[in-house]
Chain A
């Protein structure tokens, strides 16, 4: 049944060969995967390069925070440049690049429309990665805007906007060409995310960087953008992956279609209003801040809905966690989504925000979201997608297992260290009994623990990169039997 992957099929071949519905479906999937193979692999590979560069920048920034004399010879490597370079390579190079790949593939699978053959998607790939390269160098040479989550200098934005516009049109094209019938929840999430992000990014770049508004109006726009980049771009793509992958691996439909709809619309409605909880106590009208605090608490609606829906789908299938690499990463990520969202809602409440605002607690929260949720979800998706694109299996269960446990250990250490250290820092600053320097000293061991966790995570990334390269270059088993974490579990490959 399996065709040689090196001979792509086209529509004519398909019609000739098709004899049964199942056979036709399988050929259609092969056509989709063949069309996706090069471009999606390119997005994934580039995103892994950014993941590794971002890790190096992260370790440098983290060490500098407890050992200020580390790497001070050049202005290119001063803390205030390395830190935003880390954030932007991770947020745009790694997470966004990988998300574009995951979004294109899932959309193509669900609409049953093969990816366009036109060179435009390659233009998007090159524009995107040239943009990230130019932006990162820009920050390091001193062109950072110091607008958080938007530090890339203004001359980077045309690259990123151009690339994203192409990706958006491809997603819309696939949606429009799909055969009539049921639309799956992941499609709503991906379609919305790919349309919301260009609007977000264009608004922020125009009003903050290209034609800046008066300074007092900048922070609300800044945090509307920064929080929605998380909430209306990273989050929906990752949730789309969870909604696609969990039912696929466990072989059951999602628990409730209606719950998933409530989750989707309440996410769009409430998340969009969240950003101002980063500005509590700042020089802004009270209504602006209060609206965001209320919306932050209302985020419990989509979060609990999604959590129930995922949990009920998983119910009775938890034993697959022992064997399926994809499921293990995805479930870890889905649980983290619930945790990070509840933590975020609570930190928006004024008395708690008074303590956690301006401390490492927020940084811990950001890593719980961007790493334990989004990054783990993207790893899970890649574990599922790559073998299907290449018709090859992952080279080694040992590499996957170590990747998982190093990630889990690293991000747990980071989150605990920063949450506890940040809480103590905020608690003491709020009491204002100890001197500022004295409180700084208390936080140092937690910052050192964070550097250690950075090292652990980097090791995990190297393991994954090795697996990824072995798979692409063919030093891994050919299709048939998937690489499982526990080989003796009965498991059948689903398409």
Chain B
């Protein structure tokens, strides 16, 4: 082989080593996991609520909740996730078809959230927890998201959605803490996380699995 032939064969080598993995790990998964039709009937959500959930997901994405919270339940042979009641079955590809981004996560500084809507259905709990996690979970290392709330002067009667705070966490006399729309949306998104309740695809169907 002369110089030029060797150079060309090296180029072919570069391309084939890379292209085989590209085909296997990028293209095949798109055919395998990226072409679900809505044959799996997820519970229909009213449009107005769906908009709020989308807004909440955007907040989850932009504030990087993923860096401490996963959204996947491993099968019992691959981890103890179910012993912590994070879900009563492993998560399946179809559990994510309504998500814009699959927020699987790779870190569990905090607990898994695949089914947080089932485990903790209280809106008040979630709002208080976001405002300051120490109130509901003493010793947590989750940061307070007080920028999602507004501290305002009480005019006349207090707002119906003002947080019920007491002790050292309560605002000064005559003030109240109310959630911004983003906080309400984020909580609606968290409540919508009920992946174990999604129906499973029919194992007999020929669709992608």
Contacts and interface: CB of A to CB of B under 8 A. Distances in A.
A224 B26 contact: yes
B169 interface: no
Interface string B118-143: 00000000000000010001011111
A354 interface: yes
A281 B72 contact: yes
Contacts of B95: 283
B83 A75 contact: no
B139 A142 contact: no
Contacts of B140: 68, 437, 440
Given A78-B143, A268-B13, A216 B26 contact: no
Contacts of B143: 64, 68-69, 72, 78-79
A218 B92 CA distance: 14
Interface string B184-209: 00000000000000000000000001
A128 B154 CA distance: 50
Contacts of B61: 144-146
Nearest to A435: B84
Interface in A171-211: 175, 180-181, 183, 188, 191-192, 195-196, 199, 203, 207
A273 interface: yes
Interface string A276-301: 10111111110010011000000000
A145 B101 contact: yes
A328 interface: no
A439 B68 CA distance: 14
A80 B93 contact: no
Nearest to A221: B26
Nearest to B34: A217
Name the residue in B13, B92, B101, B102 with the highest tally of chain A Cβ atoms < 10 Å from its Cβ.
B102
Nearest to B10: A188
A144 B64 CA distance: 8
Contacts of A457: none
Contacts of A183: 6-7
A272 interface: yes
Nearest to A436: B111
B22 A203 contact: yes
A277 B112 CA distance: 19
Given A196-B14, A269-B17, A437-B139, A216 B144 contact: no
Interface stretch (A28-36, A244-252, A426-434): A426-434
A217 B67 contact: no
A437 B108 CA distance: 12
Interface stretch (B73-81, B158-166, B171-179): B73-81
Contacts of A199: 18, 22
B64 A79 contact: yes
A212 interface: yes
Contact of A147 (B32, B75, B101): B101
A487 interface: no
A262 interface: no
B17 A146 contact: no
A450 interface: no
A196 B18 contact: yes
A281 B64 contact: no
A80 B65 contact: yes
B36 A273 contact: no
Interface string B17-42: 11011101110111011111000000
Contact of A75 (B63, B66, B70, B141): B63
Contacts of A232: 18
Given A196-B18, A432-B84, 4 more contacts: A175-B7, A218-B101, A284-B93, A357-B106
17 contacts: A68-B142, A72-B143, A83-B64, A144-B62, A188-B10, A213-B30, A214-B34, A216-B93, A216-B94, A216-B102, A217-B30, A281-B79, A285-B32, A285-B209, A288-B25, A357-B106, A429-B84
